[in-house]
Structure 1
Amino acid sequence: MTQALRSLSITKSEQAFCDASEAFESLNLSSGLTLEQIVSAVEEIRGRRIRIKATDRLLGTAICGLWVPGRSQEWVFHPPTPWELQRQQFILHELAHMVLGHDANSAARVLLLEGLQSLSPELVRRALMRTEFRTVEEATAEYLADLMAEALRGTPTEPGAFEEVFG
């Protein structure tokens, strides 16, 4: 169980588990999955291209992922890491927010309508830079990311397919 789910009450944890499981099933992901295929599936759901970029600006912060939704494309930023599994988890967490439609909250909607330039840094931080896992929204996204990561690990071409390599 992730830290996200341990931080919530049993009822909220169960809701996060159910919502994430339902969202994962709705993705209808095939076997032999790659991260690129998951990104493509989410692009199809969202109707926009997703761009992913490592940025040094997140180094030394508590922020491990930043999703910036937009009209024609969406951005996922994450800190550079030498570990592919950690990079995948950063990306999958932000993709999970997209699948779950977490940009429908009022602060993110304002970002979409007004643009980043006219907003205070504090509003941007609260709307998009999630560093706490004590909310149902964050727990659900993390659990969905875990389910997607598990699907990736089920293929020997992705890092972490330990069982496939070593039996």
Structure 2
Amino acid sequence: MLWRLKDGSNRLSTSLQARCEERVRALEIPAAEKLTIPQLCRHIGRLQNRSILLVPLELPVGSPDGLWISADDLDYVVFEQRLAPVHQHQVILHEIGHLVCGHEAAPVMTPDSSRLLLPSLDPEMVRRVLGRQHEHSEVEVEAELVGSLIGRQIGTWTVRQTWNVPPEAQGLSSRLAALESPNHRGIHE
């Protein structure tokens, strides 16, 4: 996915890139084996002394594809269950990115108004969920980048997709690769 920042550029700042890479390094994701998403959640949960519960739901049309909800002793990652599995993974990893980065929401409701409107929910949880920016802000870009970096470590996909091409198809493969625009090589949108 190619992100455009508020200034219209599509370049990540060096400090943002470095910060995200350090956050992922600090997770010490075991390199010996490829983790599944549930195994990753258990690993991060152990690091943070909190459980992470994955919640697949049919979300309303027009709503975000995923949400991270932080309760007192448990984190919920809610995601749209009708998405393709690869898209579900990216949504989950994005929400885990928010968790790993320790993002906080800007207050959108006072605790008193939250109790009046949503009496069965903890006001702090409502603030964290509803207050987060849902746009291409640096916070969202950071969560997406952290999620993508984690995905590279746990998934079988690499930055550069490579396959063994049988000798009889190498000529065709080379000709097709030459047709790809040089401006888009290596960028996955």
Same fold per superposition (TM over 0.5)? yes
Confirm whether residue 127 of structure 1 aligns to residue 142 of structure 2: no
Deviation at 1:140, TM superposition (A): 0.6
1: distance between equivalents of 2:76 and 2:82? 18
Structure 1 gaps, min length 5: 156-161
Distance 1:124 1:23, change over 3 A: closer
Question: How far off its partner does 1:7 sit?
Answer: 2.2
TM (normalized to structure 2)? Answer: 0.65
CA RMSD, 1 decimal: 3.1
Question: Cα distance, 1:53 vs. partner?
Answer: 1.0
C-alpha separation in 2, matches of 1:7 and 1:62: 22
Q: Hey, what's the Cα distance between the residues in 2 that align with 1:144 and 1:61?
A: 25
1:19 aligns with 2:19: yes
| Residue 9 (structure 2) pairs with residue 7 (structure 1) | no
| Cα offset, 1:99, TM superposition | 0.8
Confirm or deny: 8 A CA contact 1:20 1:140 kept in the other structure.
yes
How far apart in 2 are the matches of 1:59 and 1:144? Answer: 26
**Taking every aligned residue pair, what percent have the same amino acid on both sides?**
18
Paired AA for residue 3 in structure 1: L
Name the structure where helix makes up a greater proportion of residues: 1
Which residue does the alignment assign to 2:43? 41
Aligned residue-pair number:
148
Instruction: State the TM-score, normalizing by the size of structure 1.
Output: 0.72
2:90 aligns with: 89
Query: What's the offset of the Cα at 1:16?
Result: 2.6
The answer for unaligned runs of 5 or more in structure 2 is 165-189
User: Is 1:107 paired with 2:98?
Assistant: no
CA distance 1:85–1:11, shift in 2 (3 Å): closer
1:20-57: CA deviations, max 9, x gaps? 1111111111122222222112212322111111111x
Runs of 4+ displaced beyond 4 Å:
8-12, 122-125
Amino acid at match of 2:52: I
